[in-house]
Amino acid sequence: MSDDPITSAASTHSDRTISVGGGSLDVRTSSEIGGAEVPSRSVPARPPVYALVGNPNCGKSTLFNALTGLKQKVGNYPGVTVERKIGTAYSQHGQPIQIIDLPGAYSLAARSPDEAVTRDVLLGRRADTPQPDRIICIVDATNLERNLYLVHQVLDLGKPVVVVLNMMDLVVQAGLQIRLTRLQHALGIPVIPCEAVNGKGLIELKLALSRQELPLARHAWDVPAPIAPAVAELQASLHQNDGRPPLVARAEALLLLTDQDAVRVAGSAPLSARTTEILQAWKKRWEGEGVDWAGTLVNSRYEVIGRLCAEAVQPAAAIGPSPSDRIDAVVTHPVWGWVVLGVTMAALFLSIFTLAQYPMDWIDGRVTALADWLRDAMPPGDLRALLTDGVISGAGRVVEFLPQILILYFFIGLLEDTGYMARAAFIMDRVMSRVGLNGKSFIPLLSSYACAIPGIMATRTIEDRKDRLITILVAPLMSCSARLPVYLLMIAALFPTGSVPVLTKVGLMMGMYLLGTSAAFGFAWLFKRTLLKGETPVMIMELPPYRWPSLRSLALRMLERAGLFLRRAGTIILGISVVLWFLTAYPKAPAGTPPEQQIAHSFAGDVGRALEPVLRPLGFDWRIGIAIVSSFVAREVFVSATGVVFGVQTDSSGNLLPLRAALQRAVWPDGHALFTPLVCLNLMIYYVLAMQCLSTTAVVRRETNSWRWTLFQQFYLSATAWLVACAVYQIGRALGF
C-alpha cells in the first residue's frame, strides 16, 4: 500500500481531527491500518447517523423497516425505493440511531435520478440530509461478488462500515457456504449475517451499530498504476479547488474516472475549472496511449473482489438447475409465460368477483339498513335528506368496494413479494421494446395498476429523460384501483346478479385492463416516433430469487391500503358527496314536484344540462354528466356521485334501493333505459382512458417540473376518452345495440 500514491496522499490528512456533531472523529485511512493495530472511529456525541446502502432488491427497506419499525414500501423487485427515507432505530441499550434508507444502486457511478440520491447523500452533497457518520452496506449474500462492488466503492469514503449479509436463508438453500470469519478478517470490519424478512440477526446488527468504536476497513486496494497519478492529482484538486474533504475527494476522483460523463458525476456540485482541466488532460493522454481507464478501474476492483470471494465463498456443488430456474423455464417461456400471466390475471379478477361478493353484500346490507333506519327515525327534512341521499348514498356506497380493493392489493403484494412481478416484466418487455418503451418503464407502469402516483414517482429509476417522460405520460392509462369501483358498478348495472356466468364478468374486467395497457403501449409508440424521438435502450433487469411471501407484510400492506381508502372515503369523497347533495337539492322545485324530479330543478341539473350537448354523442345524459364532472377530482367519486344523483329511488315499501338497482331503473325522458349495455360499456371505456385524478395531475406537474407536459397529458387523455367513447357509442347504435 505504501506505493499507492493515492493512499499516501490521503494519509497526509490523517493527523487531523475533525468535529462531527459535537463529537470528534479520528480520521485514519487504510495506509495506517496495521495488522496489530485496531483502528477505529469513536461515535459522535449526538445520535450517530447511518446510511443504509446496497444493490437494488437486496432487502434495504425490509431491514430499514425491521430496525425502525416504520412501514416503508418493500417489494421483491428492483427500484421500489426512489427517494431517501429517514427513521430512528434504538440500540439494544435504548440509544437512538438515525438511519437513512437510500435507493438501491449497483455502483456509485449513478446513471438515474434515484441512484444519484444515494451517491449525493454518501458524498454529503444533500443539504436536506445529514451527512452519514457511518454506513451499513447490505448485500444479497447469494450474489456476493456483484454486491461487493458497491461495498468496495463505499469503503473508499473512509467511513466506518458495517456489512450485513442478507438472505442467508437463501444461501443455505442454494447450497453455498460463506466463511464469515475469513470475510470479516479480509475486510477488517463487522460482517453480520442476517435474514431481514424474518428478523434474524437484528440483535447482532443492533449491537454492532451501537458500538462506540467501529474499525475502519482493511481496504487493501491498489489503484492500477497507469491511473494512480491521475487519481492523486484529481483528489488534490478536488480538495483544494472544489472544497471536498480529503476522502470524499478521493472517492469522487475515482468516480470521475469510472464514469465517462463528468457532469453526471458532479451532479449538483459542479467541478471547478482546474479540476475539469486536469481531468480532460488525463483523458486526452490516455486516449493517445490507448489506455481504457474506466475499464481498468472497474476490472481492478473486480479482481480484488474475486480474490476475496474465492477465499470466503464455497460455491455449491453442481446439482443441476435450481427450483427457481425450473420455475423460470415456464414463467418466462415465450408461450407458457403468457399463459401463466393470463391465468394469474384471471385468478385475480375471479377472486374480486367471487370472494369479495360476500363482504360486499354484507356492507351493502348494513349501509342500506342504516339509511332505512334514518328515514324511519328522523322526520322529513333537509338534514335527513343530506344524511341518507348525500352521506350514505354517496360516501357510504364507495365503502362497499373496500373488499375488492383489498383483494387487488393482496394479489399485487403476493406477486411482488414472491418475485413474480420481475418475471412479468421480462415477459412484457418483449412487447414494450417493440413499441419503444424502456424496459425500466415496466415497474412504474405495473405500480400504476395500484395507483398512478407511486408509478409516476417510480419513473425516477429511468435514466433517459425522454423515456421517463413517455412513461409518465402513459402511466395514468393503466387501470388503477380507483377505477375498480367504477368498473364493478357498471358491470353490476350491466349484468344483474346471476344473469351471466361470473367468467363473463371476469372477461369484461380483463378486457378493460387490456384496453388501458394497449392504449398505454400505443401512445408510447406514437410519442417515441413523434414528440420524444430516441433509441430504445436494451433492458437489463435482475430476476430476484423466488421467496415465500410474508403474511405479516401482506396483512400490513392491506391494512395500510384499507386505512387510506377509508380516509379518502371519509374526507374528499364525503366532502364532495355533501356539496353535491346541496347542488342537487337546491334550489327547491315547486311544491308538488315528485322527489325524482327535484334534481332537474337544481344547480347540478343546470350544470348537467349545459354539459349534455357534449355528452349526448357518447350516450350519456345530464345526470351522468354531473357524476363525470364531480369525479374529475378522483375517479371513485363517480360511484358516490351516481349514488347522490340516482340513489334517491325507493322501492314500493319506501326503502332505499341498492345503487345498481337504482341505475337499472333510470330512464331517459322518453322512457327508454338510460344504462343500456352499450352505455355501461361506454362509461367503462371512458374511465379507462380519461384523466380524472387531480392528485395524479399534481404529481405529474411535480415530477416533470413542467405545466406544458402536464396540460398536454390532461388534454390528450381527455380528448382520446371522448373520441373513443363517441366512436364506440355511435358504431354500437348503428349496429343496433
Kindly list the residues in this chain that would bind another protein in the complex (CB under 8 A): 82-87, 113, 116-117, 126-129, 267-268, 378-386, 457, 460, 465, 571-572, 574-576, 578-579, 581-582, 702-706
Closest distance to another protein from the beta carbon of 692 (Å): 16
Alpha helices in 5-77 (DSSP H): 5-11, 60-68
Give the separation between CA 194 and CA 208, rounded to whole angstroms: 13
At its nearest, how many Å lie between another protein and the CB of residue 51?
Answer: 14
**How many Cβ atoms from other residues are within 10 Å of residue 701's Cβ?**
15
Least Å distance between CB 184 and another protein?
A: 32
Residue from 49, 27, 47 nearest 39 by CA: 27
CA distance 640 to 570: 12
Report in angstroms how near the CB of residue 395 gets to another protein at its nearest: 11
Count CA atoms closer than 13 A to 499's CA, side-chain side. 9
Using alpha carbons, list the distances in angstroms from residue 245 to 129, 160, 248, 407. Answer: 17, 16, 5, 52
- Residue 50, phi then psi, degrees to nearest 5: -105, 135
Residue 27 or 99: which CB sits closer to another protein? 99
Distance of CA 322 to the CA centre of its chain: 30
Task: State whether residue 442 is helix, strand or coil.
Answer: helix
Min CB(459)–another protein separation in Å: 10
**What is the C-alpha to C-alpha distance for residues 535 and 13, in angstroms, rounded to an integer?**
47
Helix axes 603-615, 574-585, angle to 10 degrees: 100
Shortest distance (Å) from residue 697 CB to another protein: 12
What φ, ψ does residue 159 adopt, rounded to 5°?
-100, 160
Identity of the residue, 2 or 268, whose beta carbon is nearer to another protein in the bound complex: 268
Please name the helix (run of DSSP H) or strand (run of DSSP E) that holds residue 24, with its range, or none: strand 23-26
Q: Output the smallest distance, CB 310 to another protein, in A.
A: 40
Q: How far is C-alpha 665 from the chain's CA centre?
A: 42
The CA–CA distances, whole Å, from 532 to 458, 524, 689, 716 equal 20, 9, 21, 15
Q: Which is nearer to another protein, 410 or 565 (CB)?
A: 565
In the complex with another protein, the residue whose CB is nearer, 310 or 383, is: 383
Min dist. Cβ of residue 21 to another protein (A): 19
- Give the integer Cα–Cα distance in Å for 520 and 237: 49
- Residue 268 or 499: the one with the smaller Cβ distance to another protein is 268
Query: What is the spatial distance between Cα 506 and Cα 485, in angstroms, rounded to a whole number?
Result: 14
Element (H, E) at 578: helix 574-585
Q: Which is nearer to another protein, 305 or 462 (CB)?
A: 462
Nearest Cα residue to 721 out of 691, 700, 699, 698:
691
In whole angstroms, the minimum distance from the beta carbon of 127 to another protein comes to: 7
Q: What is the CA radius of gyration of the chain?
A: 30
Cβ of residue 370: shortest distance to another protein, in angstroms? Answer: 17
461 and 79 Cβ atoms separated by less than 8 Å: yes
Q: How far is the CB of 579 from another protein (least distance, A)?
A: 5
Query: Cβ closer to another protein: 3 or 128?
Result: 128
Distance in Å, CB of 86 to another protein, minimum:
5
- Report the candidate in 45, 48, 6, 49 with the shortest Cα–Cα distance to residue 29: 6
Question: Shortest CA distance to 208 belongs to which of 359, 405, 50, 394?
Answer: 50
**Neighbouring-strand partners of residue 54:** 138
Nearer to another protein by C-beta: 128 or 670?
128
Which CB atom, from 256 or from 683, has the smaller least distance to another protein?
Answer: 256
The answer to whether 599 and 641 are in contact (CB under 8 A) is no
Chain centroid to CA 66: 19
3-state class (DSSP) for residue 150? helix
Min. distance of Cβ 158 from another protein in angstroms?
25
Please report how close the Cβ of residue 170 comes to another protein at its closest, in angstroms. Answer: 29
H-run or E-run covering 182: helix 180-187
Nearer to another protein, 273 or 377 (CB): 377
87 vs 549 by CB, closer to another protein? 87
Q: Which residues of 55-77 are buried (b: 16+ CB within 10 A; e: fewer)?
A: bbbbbbbbbbbbbbebeeebbbb
In the bound state with another protein, the residue whose beta carbon lies nearer, of 84 and 239, is: 84
Sequence-distant (≥ 6) Cβ neighbours of residue 370 within 8 angstroms: 392, 396
**CB nearer another protein, residue 429 or residue 463:** 463
Pick 266 or 512: Cβ nearer another protein: 266
